[in-house]
Amino acid sequence: MIVFKKIASLQQHLQRIQQNGGSVGFVPTMGALHQGHIQLTERSIAEGQFTVCSIFVNPTQFNDKDDFAKYPITVENDIVQLEAAGVQALFLPSVEEIYPNGTALPENAYPLGFLDQVFEAAHRPGHFQGVCQVVHRLLDIVQPDKLYMGQKDYQQCMVIRKLLDLTGLDTRTELIICPTMRETDGLAMSSRNRRLPETDRQVAPTIYELLQYAREKAGELPLPEIEEYALAQLTAAGFKPDYFAFARASDLQPVGRYENDTKLIVVVAAFLGQVRLIDNILL
C-alpha cells in the first residue's frame, strides 16, 4: 500500500491508473478503523477497483469541539488493517492540504433542504454542511468511479447522494451503500464504541434490541406508541435519547402510520454517558 500525504502525488498516481483503463474505488474515513470500514474496502477490491482509503478527521463537521478533541486517532493500527485488507493507496492529508484557503464556508453553501433540518441535522447544527464540504473536496481530489459508504450513517448517505446531484458529480461517481456491520451482540460498529466504559458497553446493544422490536411491531401497533415505548426504554436503561422515529426511507420524512407500500426506516440517536450512538434499521 502506498501512503500519500500530498494531493499532487496522489492525483498523478490515480491518473495513470485510469489512463490504463483502471477504475478507482474510494472509501473516505476519519480513521479509528473497525471491521465496518474494512468491509467497505473489501467490497471495492472485490468489484475490481483500485481502492483508495482516506483518513482525515474533518474539523468542520464537528459542532461539538469536545467531540472533535476526543475523536480517537489510531493511524498506525489503521495502516496495518488497510494493508491486510489489500487496499492499494491511503490518502493521509493534513488540514492545510485539504483546506489551503481555510475552512470558512458560506452559510447554507450546500442547499440540502429537509435533510439539513431533521434528525441528525436538528441535533448537530452545521454538521452536514461540513460533511459536504470535505466530501466534495475529497471527490474533487480523488475523482473516483465508485464511492463506498456504510448504511449505519443513513442520513449521511442520503446527504452525499444529494451532494452528488447538486454538484453534478453523480455523472462521474456512483455511490455504493453497504450494510451496517454489527458486533455479535448487535451493536453497530463505530469508532466511538471504543470510548464506552465496559459497563456502558454492556448496555449499548439495547439500541439494536429496540430497533428489532420496532420492526417486529410496526404492522401491529401504532407507530407513535412504539416510538414512545422505545424512548422510555432507552431512558430507563441509562441513555439520553435524541430521537427514535419512523421515517420514509426515500426522504426521511417522519411518518405516523404504517403502510405496506411505503418503505420505512427506524432511526435512533442517543447518548450513553459521554458517547453518542446512532443506528437504524430498514423495514
Single-letter amino acid, residue 195 = R
Alpha-carbon distance 122 to 63, whole Å? 11
CATH 3.30.1300.10 positions along the chain are 191-282
Alpha-carbon distance 115 to 68, whole Å? 23
Burial 231-244 (b: 16+ CB within 10 A, else e): bebbeebebebbbb
Annotated binding site for (R)-pantoate: 61, 156
Residue 108 pLDDT level (bands cut at 50, 70, 90):
confident
Round the average pLDDT of the chain to a whole number and report it.
96
Is the pLDDT confidence value at 241 over 90? yes
- Annotated active-site residue 37? The verdict is yes
What would the mean pLDDT of 250-273 be, rounded to a whole number? 95
Residue 76 CB neighbours (<10 A): 7
Alpha-carbon distance 282 to 132, whole Å? 24
CATH 3.40.50.620 positions along the chain are 2-178
Question: What is the side-by-side strand order in the sheet with 239-248?
Answer: 239-248, 264-272, 275-282
What are the tens digits of pLDDT across the range 91-102?
999 999 999 999
Annotated binding site for beta-alanine: 61
Largest CA distance in the chain: 58
Cell numbers 489489500: residue: 86
May I ask the CATH architecture of the domain 2-178?
Answer: 3-Layer(aba) Sandwich (3.40)
Residue 113 CB neighbours (<10 A): 10
pTM of this prediction?
Answer: 0.96
Is the pLDDT confidence value at 259 over 90? no
What are the tens digits of pLDDT across the range 135-167?
999 999 999 999 999 999 999 999 999 999 999
Catalytic residue among 13, 37, 123, 127: 37
* Superfamily of domain covering 191-282: Pantoate-beta-alanine ligase, C-terminal domain (3.30.1300.10)
Annotated binding site for ATP: 30-37, 150-153, 189-192
C-alpha 97: how far from its chain's center?
22
